[in-house]
Amino acid sequence: MSIMPIMTRLSRSILRLPTAYLICCAVLCSAQATVAYAQSTTSTILPREEVQADVSTRTVGITSNFTGTEIIVFGAVSNTRPVNNADEQYDVVVIVEGVGEELITRRKSNVAGIWINTSAVIFRSVPSYYAIASSKPLDEITEPLLLDQHDIGFQHITLTPKSRAKLKISDSELNKFRSGILRNKQKQRLYVENEFGVVFVGDNLFRATIDLPANVPVGPLKTRVHLFREGILLDTFESQVQLAREGVGRYLYNFAIGYPLLYGIVAVIVAAGSGWAASTYFSRRRT
């Protein structure tokens, strides 16, 4: 029996079907094929690498005898990929920075044998404290443009003059003022850098120790953890550490800020009373 008459009758029967029915069948077949393709595609997509981190303490008490302390930033890299060579290793950068503040930078010049302040620039939003630790030097982790975009590293912190249009100095002179800020902050141990301060423990665990000096400004500190691989920024984690005054120092500070005139009067009375009491005591001992 030939198959051609059967195929001819089948095609004629299909052609007799309603057009709407044929369209529905075509749409249904197309949808099933799309779903099957999507399932096969999503099964091959790997989850995004992420970094999860935390700080050893969220609150640091500042008392009158505070001599500095250290905090530990630790975390893990999740959904890691196989590492075949050194260039594919993960890199972590940890940054702890204080709130931005206005800062005046002055330059001294020799005028008639006397060194006096001849020019000054006011910078806005200068971090009061900035500590950075990385798994290796920053220039080996990523390109300078990405470091500029995220304020990673001393030379990439955004230091903007308050009124650039009114300044009558060149860009090279302005860079000298910026360098002066960085130099003074480093001398005060308020800007700290450790190129190999992030240590990996195993394949995906890491930790970094950040030193807080005795003169660290009181207030919130923002902690940022950046995850890199092959020069690409994969993920960023942020948290906060609060530096708060405690003990008698907190009450004296609040009293001085809240009632400055009364605080000044009390300070003068206490100083005069202490001097009078000491003078009376020693004069009696002499007699």
The per-residue pLDDT for range 43-74, each reduced to its tens digit, is 467 788 999 999 999 999 888 788 999 999 99
pLDDT class for 138, splitting at 50, 70, 90?
A: very high
**Residue 103 and residue 216 in one domain:** yes
Q: What is the 3-state secondary structure (H, E, C) of 252-264?
A: HHHHHHHCHHHHH
**Residue 145 and residue 229 in one domain:** yes
Between CA 223 and CA 234 the distance in angstroms is: 17
pLDDT in tens, 200-255: 988 889 999 999 999 999 999 999 999 999 999 999 999 999 998 877 666 666 66
What's the mean pLDDT in 167-176?
82
**Residue 159 and residue 89 in one domain:** yes
Q: 270 in a domain, yes or no? A: no
**Residue 199 and residue 152 in one domain:** yes
* CATH number of the domain within which 223 lies: 2.60.40.1930
**Residue 209 and residue 176 in one domain:** yes
Q: 258 in a domain, yes or no? A: no
- CA distances to 7, 17, 30 from 14, rounded to whole Å, are 10, 5, 19
**Residue 66 and residue 183 in one domain:** yes
**Residue 21 and residue 69 in one domain:** no
User: What pTM does this model have?
Assistant: 0.73
Q: 144 in a domain, yes or no? A: yes
pLDDT class for 42, splitting at 50, 70, 90?
A: very low
**Residue 159 and residue 59 in one domain:** yes
What's the mean pLDDT in 257-270?
81
Measured from the Cβ of residue 110, the count of other Cβ atoms closer than 10 Å reads 9
123 versus 7: the higher-pLDDT residue is 123
**Residue 126 and residue 100 in one domain:** yes
Q: 73 in a domain, yes or no? A: yes
Range of the domain at 27: 4-42
Structural domain tally of the chain? 2
